[in-house]
Structures are given as C-alpha cells and as structure tokens.
Amino acid sequence: MSKKIGFIGLGIMGKPMSKNLLKAGYSLVVYDLINDAVNEVVGAGAEKGTSCKDVANRCEIIITMLPNSPHVREALFGKDGIIEGAEPGSIFIDMSSIDPMVSKDIYVKLKDKKIEMLDAPVSGGEPKAIDGTLSIMVGGPEKVFNEVKEILSKMGSSVVLVGNIGSGNVTKLANQIIVALNIAAMSEAFVLATKAGVNPEKVFDAIKGGLAGSTVLNAKAPMVLNRNFKPGFRIELHIKDLMNAMDTAHQIGVPLQLTGQVLEMMQALKVDGKGKNDHSGLVQYFEKLADREVRK
C-alpha cells in the first residue's frame, strides 16, 4: 500500500471512487478543474495537485475518470499533461468510458515512454461508486493488472481482466447497449400497462421475480414510479457511450439497429432539455408519444 496514487477527475463517479481509496488507507494526490470537488476530497485526506503533470510527477499510479476520449487525451498530452510528469515504469489506469480505438492509440504512445496502461471502465452508477461495489472491466497486460487489482478492488466488488488493451471499453460498450435497451423495454412496457389501466407498480412487483426481472429493472423502475430523474447516470453521458458503440461497430462492420433506435430516442430527449436527467428518464420519450405518465 506504499505506492502513491494520483486521481484526476472528481465528478459524480470520480469523487466517491477517490474517497473509497482514501478510506482503504491509500495516499492520494487529486486534481480536477472544479476546485470545490478537489477541496472536498482534500478535506477527506487527499493531497491537492496543481495540474495533471504535477499529479503524475508525484505518483507511481495515475487514475483518470473523465467524460470522454478528448478529455483523456487532453489530460495526457495537453499542456501540463500526465505525459510531462510521469516517470518510466508508472502505471496509467483510465477508468473513463471512451472509444476502445482511442485506448489502443494511447497505449502505443505511452509504451514509447515506458509507461504501462490499463483501460478499466466501470458500471454501477453513483450508488455503487459510493458504496464501492462497481463492476470494473479491465483491458491490458495481465502482469500490470495483477499489480493494481487490489487497488481496483477498493472501488469495485467485481474486477475482471477481459483481454488486451481496449477490451475493457469494448465490454463497457456492450454493457451500455444492454442497459439502454433494458431501460427502453421497461419504459415501453410500463407506458403500455399504465394506458391499459393497470397499476405499473403492481406490474413491477409481479414481474421482477420472473424472467423479465433484472438489475436494471430493480434499480430504475422505482425511480420512474417516483418520478425521480435525479442523475445517477445522465442521458447525455449514455448518448456518448452509445455513440462510441456505434463508431466502434461501424469501424469493424457490426450493425447495431436497436442501439441506433434507442440512441435517437435519447437524442430527442436531450433536444427537449432532458439530457441531464437520469437515463431512467427515457420513459418520458414513450410517455409523450402515448400521452400518459407512469407513476405510482
């Protein structure tokens, strides 16, 4: 536990993840563009970094948790970036959800500098980030994975090496497709039940123990029924993930018809000013078409 960890990106997910590392006894240097987020984590016991370069210069392991591919590139290769401060032999762990092809490109560039890399995106949203039970899907060399598995296990209850670099983000894209389609199916079904005059809460109680039951249903149905669209995971971020899935699929020749349809539904909600809602707010797309609201 002697290695110092740098953590860059203290948003909805990164802040609780970094706090869990502190609770586990690790020494952290943190950085974010939002000073309030930095100060909160520093208040929990972290040291304050002044830039990505400064964090990398002070730490042997550097973790990023950022919105998308351009932000990760900027943190690495921009002005005062990680690449300027990291020593050979450092380990870079990108826990952001980004394009797998970008992960591979970054890996090659870092290897030239003798910096190791893993891509390790997560699933579970804010609640699981807070209680340290995220699912972490990892791509990269097994030797590097074994060096940091204990650290990752302080943020997630499931930490799985799925393959070479980029595999973590491919797995995350698969995850996001399944989650999006589950939410769409749930939304369509609940709107149908509501307009047919059947209590959607009773429908949820009746089906959750059967084949239609799922982690997604258990997490998102209560939010819909309570009209609680406060984000654990925003629609606009799910759009980003599905766009990355579509881009990757087009590059390798895989049609994603259902994913494309749900992506356009989410885009319509974003245009309607609902992009910052939780992705359970997808139900509002179907509600508008059917002129009926799902609630308890």
- The number of angstroms, rounded, from the C-alpha of 176 to the middle of its chain's C-alpha atoms is 9
Distance CA 156, CA 133 (A): 4
Backbone angles phi, psi at 91, to 5 degrees: -120, 125
N-terminal to C-terminal alpha carbon distance within the chain? 48
Backbone angles phi, psi at 3, to 5 degrees: -70, 135
Distance CA 149, CA 44 (A): 23
Number of H helices, E strands in the chain: 14, 9
Residue 265 CA neighbour count, 13 Å, CB half? 25
The number of beta carbons lying within 10 Å of the beta carbon of residue 264 is 12
Backbone angles phi, psi at 117, to 5 degrees: -145, 145
DSSP 234: B
Is 172 annotated in the active site?
Answer: yes
Distance CA 236, CA 97 (A): 13
Residue corresponding to tokens 């039940």: 193
Instruction: Point out the catalytic residue in the list 15, 128, 172, 274.
Output: 172
3-state secondary structure of 270: helix
Q: Provide the annotated active-site residues.
A: 172
